[in-house]
Chain A
Amino acid sequence: MRIVVDLTRCQAYAQCVFLAPQVFELHGEEALLYRPDVPEEQLDRVREAVVACPVRAILVGEAVDAGAE
């Protein structure tokens, strides 16, 4: 499972950092860094973060399958 955060939308509400601190962290006061590959055991927390984000900036999905012909 992969995530991408639309940092154009992100306003550093940091709900994701509270809910899934192993995946999301603030760098300084409001620059968000995150792990693009979500470990299996963090999936539920990340899904909660997706819903909790006030600006709906987190997209979760499968990466494109290279072999898809």
Chain B
Amino acid sequence: MPSDPREGRIVVVGASLAGLRAAEALREEGFTGPLTVVGEEHRPPYDRPPLSKQVLLGTAAPDTTGLPMRRDPDAQWRLGVRATGLDPLAKRVLLADGESLPYDRLLIATGTRARPWPHPQQAALDGVFTLRTSEDAARLAERLAAGPRRVLVIGAGFTGSEIASACRERGIEVTVAERGPGPLVGALGGTLAKLAAAMQRAHGVDLRCAVTVSALRGRDGRFVGADFSDGSRVEADLCVVALGAIRNIEWLADAGLAAGPHGIACDAGCRAVDMYGIVTDDIFVAGDIARFPHPLFDYQMLSLEHWGNAVAQAEVAAHNMVSPGPLRRPHLTVPVFWSSQFGFNIKSVGVPAFSDQVVIAQGSLAERRLVAVYGYRGRITAAVTVNMAKWLEHYQGLIESAATFPPGPGAADGQPLVTEFPIPSDVPDARGLSHGPTVALTGHLPVRRLTVVRSAG
């Protein structure tokens, strides 16, 4: 590696939000060497949140969500080619077209892909979709515009719930099947899942919880309906499989990194950890693929699928890639995410899954606007707002300062707490959900969940 970290050659693998923001930040931080960004999709970096909202509602075309640049990163873009391997000793990234790219420092930002329906033949039926890429959104939006009689959504996580919301807004009948006790339960726990369920039913969703889909049925190669584990059936024209995401780590099977189903372990400075728990100094990770320790949550390793985390972590990774050791920064951002569905704005700060109790601190379930505050062993660890987004920052401050749970009367707006006593937050075991949680607490040790992953195909 060159003596000045602002020189040398940097390769970024992954050309989505984290990859783009890292590339920009590298230049802002004074990196002057050659920069290559590798992306599997043919499209330049685009924004994904609108795909399950504006695009499905028909108010934005799927090919218009290209991310604006803050500055031109002056990069060589290698789009439409997949990275197939990494040789950390020779310091080369191997590409599907046979080429290999040398690097002095590497940033891995390969993110996630949609988890497919597990039965390939059923998944191949015409009318069965997943939603992750702009191509997925384009095809699904076209079929929604054609006016299906009913759509089946499998999985009531954020993506599944937003799809159901868009369908209802377009006047399309929807059935939602969720293996867990309610929508969004993995992310928000049992109390808010009840509100989410009421919200869906009030908007005419045929919501079925604590049930699994046992088979997708087809006729002449077209999806026509599904069988449920309770013996019931549904007839539908389209099926959207919203079972959460799989991290794109298979290409690293032989790289010797601590890579597993929750991503690639890294230190607080985004430096990847190898399979022996030793930190590397030339391989960095950012975005959905990263699994990092967080002091606010007992230093457990966290995996996040949040837009804001991709941006913040990419900036820290880029800074650290071009800075000498003592000038490096930790990535300590408090997790924040949002979702809009059924006319509600839901925002979360902290990690609601890291909780044992919850209290409605402002508003109420009946008013359909509230702040739920989550606590773990007597301190505040998360807050969720429904149509009360302005309060988020206040609670973020309480989380960052490890304030006492439950928050005292007057902690927020001078009003007494709405619920007199905290109640269990009812965070379920993630294994019982149809979809994956968007925040995963993955334990303390960087190598604890190590698996060497080999693709089945």
Contact-residue bracket for chain B: 35 or more
The answer to whether A68 and B65 touch (CB under 8 A), given A8-B338, A37-B60, A59-B70, is no
Contact B69 A61 (CB under 8 A): yes
- The verdict on A48 contacting chain B, using a C-beta distance below 8 Å, is no
- The verdict on A41 contacting chain B, using a C-beta distance below 8 Å, is no
The answer to whether A2 and B389 touch (CB under 8 A), given A7-B338, A28-B340, A30-B345, is no
Contact B47 A4 (CB under 8 A): yes
- The verdict on A40 contacting chain B, using a C-beta distance below 8 Å, is no
Residues of A contacting B59 in the complex (Cβ-Cβ under 8 angstroms): 33, 35
Beta-carbon contacts under 8 Å, B313-345 to A: 336-338, 340, 342-345
Contact B345 A12 (CB under 8 A): yes
Say how far A36's CB is from chain B's closest CB, in angstroms.
Answer: 5
Contact B77 A11 (CB under 8 A): no
Contact A2 B60 (CB under 8 A): no
- The verdict on B68 contacting chain A, using a C-beta distance below 8 Å, is yes
Residues of B contacting A64 in the complex (Cβ-Cβ under 8 angstroms): 20, 44-45, 66-67, 69, 77
Q: Which of A8, A11, A27, A64 has the most CB of B within 10 A?
A: A64
How many residues of chain A get a CB closer than 8 Å to chain B's CBs? 31
Residues of B contacting A10 in the complex (Cβ-Cβ under 8 angstroms): 338, 389
Residues of A contacting B76 in the complex (Cβ-Cβ under 8 angstroms): 68-69
The answer to whether A29 and B68 touch (CB under 8 A), given A8-B337, A12-B389, A63-B44, is no
The answer to whether A8 and B387 touch (CB under 8 A), given A33-B53, A63-B66, is no
Contact A4 B387 (CB under 8 A): no
- The verdict on B390 contacting chain A, using a C-beta distance below 8 Å, is yes
- The verdict on A6 contacting chain B, using a C-beta distance below 8 Å, is yes
Contact B53 A29 (CB under 8 A): no
Q: List 27 A-B contacts (CB under 8 A).
A: A2-B66, A2-B68, A6-B308, A7-B49, A8-B306, A8-B307, A11-B389, A11-B390, A12-B345, A12-B389, A28-B343, A28-B344, A28-B345, A29-B343, A30-B387, A31-B340, A32-B340, A36-B54, A61-B70, A62-B68, A62-B69, A63-B44, A63-B68, A64-B77, A66-B42, A66-B43, A66-B77
What are the 5 closest A-B residue pairs judged by CB atoms, nearest first?
A61-B68, A28-B343, A63-B66, A31-B340, A64-B44
A29-B369, A62-B69 are known; give 10 further A-B pairs, CB within 8 A. A3-B68, A11-B390, A28-B340, A31-B340, A32-B345, A35-B60, A35-B64, A36-B47, A64-B45, A66-B77
